[in-house]
Structure 1
Amino acid sequence: MMELGRFELDLGMRRLLRDGEAVRVGSRAFDILAAIAAAGGRLVTRDELMKTVWPGSIVEEGNIDVNLSALRKALGPDRDLIITVPGRGYQLAQVPVKSLPERSVARVSLPARRVSLVGREAVIGQLCAALIDAPVLTLTGTGGVGKTSLAIEVAHRMAGEFDDHVAFVELATLNTKEAVLDAIMTCCGVPVENETPGLAALKAELARAPRLLLLDSAEHVVGAVAEIVEPLLAANATLRVLVTSREPLRIRPEALFKVDPLATPTAQASDAEMLQSPAVELFRQRANSLPAGVGAERHEIRLIGEICRRLDGIPLAIELAAARVEVLGVEGVRRRLDDRLAILTGGYRTAMPRHQTLRATFDASFTLLGDVARCLFQRLAIFNAPFTFESMRAVVCDAALTEDDVIDGIGELVAKSLVNVSLDGSEAVYRLFESTRAYAADKLRAAEELRQIASRHARFVAAHIEGHSERDEVTFDASAHLLAAA
């Protein structure tokens, strides 16, 4: 490492930094600068440069001029750092030159990987491939779908591509941009109390080696993360950032990957097909880690398949349900799924609080919603089947929630992975996972709006039921069921 005035020349990592920020220069241009800098102010002839930069090769002498021109262009206002002595060669301008001790880039251990991620091998391969090309890759999806576990596994597998320079930053407990920046700096080995401003110091450190940052649980500080990550990526082409969040960062270089729940078996699936389902496999794996083995008998396998379907294949919900088998049995768990928010607790003690109960997972998302989105979300509990914007508007809108509110609110709920959307031809169709709907219904009861919304929904269905499909009849039954439970 050499310091050349305001520049640092890292010969080991082949990087040039100006005031801590990377300067992009070509390989041959870098070699020319390194050769001139190493001479310590001594004149370096053109023949010497040819032998140093193109050893053992026969190339035209004009290559020196081409690469020197590119180097001076990269240096910009500091182009006079290289002085041309006509007819003789080149030398370094009179700037302070000193050798700096080589700095080792901090290598931060990742959290332990899961023993196995059931049904995720193909997804892991896709994510590893995507991370090679995408400067920032954000894993989105509903709470409990396994974004963090996937990201940790991908980071472990990709660590070799970054010479093990991988930093894991847990954001769940942070609330400000300053706290996020400090956490990233700490995990990257940059002293927080630094003479150089935080972002500039972090840029300089990240420029020293290819690096992978894993930023976990960014949804509540997504704006701060975006403001930090975008300039870091702009200054460093070798940096890769892997993010887990329930909503995107929405920055230019971002690639999105929505993590879907595990595949569940249909009710008509054979026993063999049931056992091949990743969701069923996860349930049996988790339940069989407890003293009582399950899933060996045909009737148990089919009960497990039903449980996994009703839990929409969400890994956290499946694991929490399987953990209750020791006390309730498989049949007992199935019977109590209508009260899933009460029974799906008992997550791993070492897990983050939001992963220890199903309710805590939804609480973490609900608290991030604005008032309009909260109101809309709880009213959507009335739909237990896919629904359109028109049916939603007819049921949820009133003086407190206008059509414009619904447009904004449904966009926020989709962005935050609380509502799923798909296209049926040219029309958007929305759906809540069953567990999400159970949580929304709980909030609807607490707001004392259930009777009003259920009555409005029943009138809407009754007005259309004659010319509509069975889907509306199902949602009508849902209104009656929720009303009876109120």
Structure 2
Amino acid sequence: MIQIGRFELDPELRTLNGRSGRVRIGARAFDILMYLATSRGRLVTKDELIRHVWPDTIVEENNLQVHLSALRKALGADRNLIVTLTGRGYQLAGHFTRAQETTAAQTARNARVPRRIIGDLPAQVGELYGRENVIQEITDLLPRARAVTLVGAGGIGKTCLASAVARCLADQFADGVHFAGLAPHANTPAVLGAVAHACGLACSGGTMSAVQIAAALAEKRCLLVLDNAEHVIDVVADLAEALTRFSPELRLLTTSREPLRVAAESVYQVKPLEAPASDAQCQEVLAHSSVRLFLQRARALQPGFGDDAASIALVGEVCRRLDGVPLAIELAAARAATLGIDGLHRRLDDRLNILTGGRRTALPRHRTLRATFDWSYALLDPVARTVFRRVGQLGGTFHIEDACTIAANDEITPTLVMTSIIELVEKSLLGVEFEGPVTRYRLPESTRAYAREKLRDEGEGDDQVAGQRVSGSRGSRSARQWPSLAPNMVFA
């Protein structure tokens, strides 16, 4: 325990405690304070501090300033203990010593097991902008829920969130954290084999069954993270049922583009990053997490990028048109570093061809924007694919009636259209909004661009679909008749 002013810094439990209890600070802020404290008053340069706190990431000085500001705010009256020496660095002032541990702290330390993470937990690349509250909500939910599924569109950041939560909670699980990436596995034996391997389990007779895995973990207090489950959703659902039935102390955290739909599941919808309004002023634009992510990624490739108000306004517009999706924003930032923000903005209608060149170490479906959609599109049944392509012609929000008007024909009934709309919502391709009793649906701009591209690929041009809509309104399945197929639905 290290005494800093009126606070106690616990390096083992990674906590900062004041007179009124624990003070909540972020992991980066804790690392900064810990490094300054262990330097024992020595001047620490800005570059040294950044190298220590972000060892594998290129970040800007403003990242450090944000965390130092948060840290000073947390210290309150003792904020002046962190001294800035302009142009030189930082140091922790005052007298600070190793404090005697309280009985409670000693008990906690004796009961505590080493921090353990088992499996190939992805490295955290850069800062998770705007996700602090999300991480806190998920970490608060997991102790209460046996199984939590992070659900959201491709590229929304589910894997990054799951990894961050796993690191935050590692100390709370005596038997560690197990991470299994399921993206490369496409059948039951491969999935169960990957999970067993991540958990350190072996079976002499070959692949373990879901029940055998659950039985082997029955007495374990551990966190199991299953990443990218949507393409093997049935296998993962069966495993989740077995784990929650046989392993009362185990907690399951799954990432997927659709829910598992099992009894013990709590679904957490991962939302996009905040994007600025079209009339936002420069400082307002800079305050949004999507813009901060864009600028950080662009400036890592091109220092000094976007320093003027006009460029910041265009960055805000790009982030808004990309619907705040982190992967799309990162891909766009990489292109803006070479095309310039104006060049990127003018070519954004061709985003599926422009937004390529993701990290070489990323999963193949995260290297281009089109590949992200290809992965989701391949998981749809043929009818849902057709409905998806056709509703891509609907701009803004629309009602189920509009979807039936544009997508139904002699082969696809309005009932099948409604079933497909449900599937598209569940698989995170279609957004849903509620206004009282009325339900509206929305395709994000990038998703709509992909749907229209697939429509053209299938030889269904805009004119053909529009003609179908006109002829359909005169046929036996007119828009006036469709509501009778679902009498409990409300149409605007």
Q: Indicate which of 255, 260, 263 corresponds to 2:271.
A: 260
TM-score with structure 1 setting the length: 0.71
1:218 and 2:229 matched: yes
Deviations 1:61-113 (A, max 9, x none): xxxxxxxxxxxxxxxxxxxxxxxxxxxxxxxxxxxxxxxxxxxx993352212
CA 1:192–1:335 in 2, change beyond 3 Å: closer, same or farther? farther
| Bigger Rg, which one | 1
Q: Indicate which of 351, 360, 372 corresponds to 2:383.
A: 372
Q: Indicate which of 312, 332, 335 corresponds to 1:324.
A: 335
CA 1:177–1:109 in 2, change beyond 3 Å: closer, same or farther? closer
Q: Indicate which of 392, 410, 413 corresponds to 1:402.
A: 413
| Mapping 1:234-313, distance limit 5 Å | 234-313=245-324
CA 1:367–1:458 in 2, change beyond 3 Å: closer, same or farther? closer
Residue 419 of structure 1 corresponds to 430
Residue 131 of structure 1 corresponds to 142
Deviation at 1:197, TM superposition (A): 5.4
Residue 90 of structure 2 corresponds to none
Deviation at 1:193, TM superposition (A): 2.8
Local SS of the residue matching 1:382: coil
Residue 177 of structure 1 corresponds to 188
Whole-angstrom distance in 2 between the partners of 1:271 and 1:460 = 49
Runs (4+) of structure 1 exceeding 4 A deviation are: 194-197, 457-463
Whole-angstrom distance in 2 between the partners of 1:431 and 1:414 = 10
| Mapping 1:19-418, distance limit 5 Å | 107-108=118-119, 110-163=121-174, 165-194=176-205, 198-418=209-429
**Aligned 8 A contact 2:393 2:462 in 1:** no
Local SS of the residue matching 1:287: helix
**Aligned 8 A contact 2:366 2:372 in 1:** yes
CA RMSD of aligned residues (A): 2.1
Deviation at 1:158, TM superposition (A): 0.7
Deviations 1:240-267 (A, max 9, x none): 0100000000000000001000010001
CA 1:169–1:414 in 2, change beyond 3 Å: closer, same or farther? same
Local SS of the residue matching 2:358: coil
Local SS of the residue matching 2:423: helix
CA 1:196–1:168 in 2, change beyond 3 Å: closer, same or farther? closer
**Aligned 8 A contact 1:114 1:153 in 2:** no
Deviation at 1:169, TM superposition (A): 0.6
**Aligned 8 A contact 2:405 2:473 in 1:** no
Deviation at 1:296, TM superposition (A): 1.0
Whole-angstrom distance in 2 between the partners of 1:357 and 1:202 = 36
Whole-angstrom distance in 1 between the partners of 2:317 and 2:473 = 30
**Aligned 8 A contact 2:119 2:179 in 1:** yes
Residue 442 of structure 1 corresponds to 453
Local SS of the residue matching 1:132: coil
Whole-angstrom distance in 2 between the partners of 1:339 and 1:226 = 38
Consecutive unaligned residues of structure 1, counting only runs of 5 or more, are 1-104, 464-486
Deviations 1:394-449 (A, max 9, x none): 12211132101101110110110000111122121000000000000000011111
**Aligned 8 A contact 2:305 2:337 in 1:** no
Number of aligned residue pairs: 359
Whole-angstrom distance in 1 between the partners of 2:206 and 2:355 = 49
Which amino acid in the other structure matches residue 345 of structure 2? R
Deviation at 1:289, TM superposition (A): 0.5
Whole-angstrom distance in 2 between the partners of 1:367 and 1:413 = 12
Deviation at 1:325, TM superposition (A): 1.5
Whole-angstrom distance in 1 between the partners of 2:221 and 2:290 = 37
Residue 26 of structure 2 corresponds to none
**Aligned 8 A contact 1:303 1:334 in 2:** yes
TM-score with structure 2 setting the length: 0.70
Bigger mean CA offset, 338-347 vs 228-237: 228-237
Residue 41 of structure 2 corresponds to none
Whole-angstrom distance in 1 between the partners of 2:331 and 2:377 = 20
Whole-angstrom distance in 2 between the partners of 1:155 and 1:227 = 23
Whole-angstrom distance in 1 between the partners of 2:172 and 2:409 = 55
Instruction: Work out the percentage of aligned pairs sharing the same amino acid.
Output: 45
Whole-angstrom distance in 2 between the partners of 1:369 and 1:322 = 30
Consecutive unaligned residues of structure 2, counting only runs of 5 or more, are 1-115, 475-492
Residue 485 of structure 2 corresponds to none
Deviation at 1:326, TM superposition (A): 2.2
Residue 483 of structure 1 corresponds to none
Whole-angstrom distance in 1 between the partners of 2:225 and 2:118 = 13
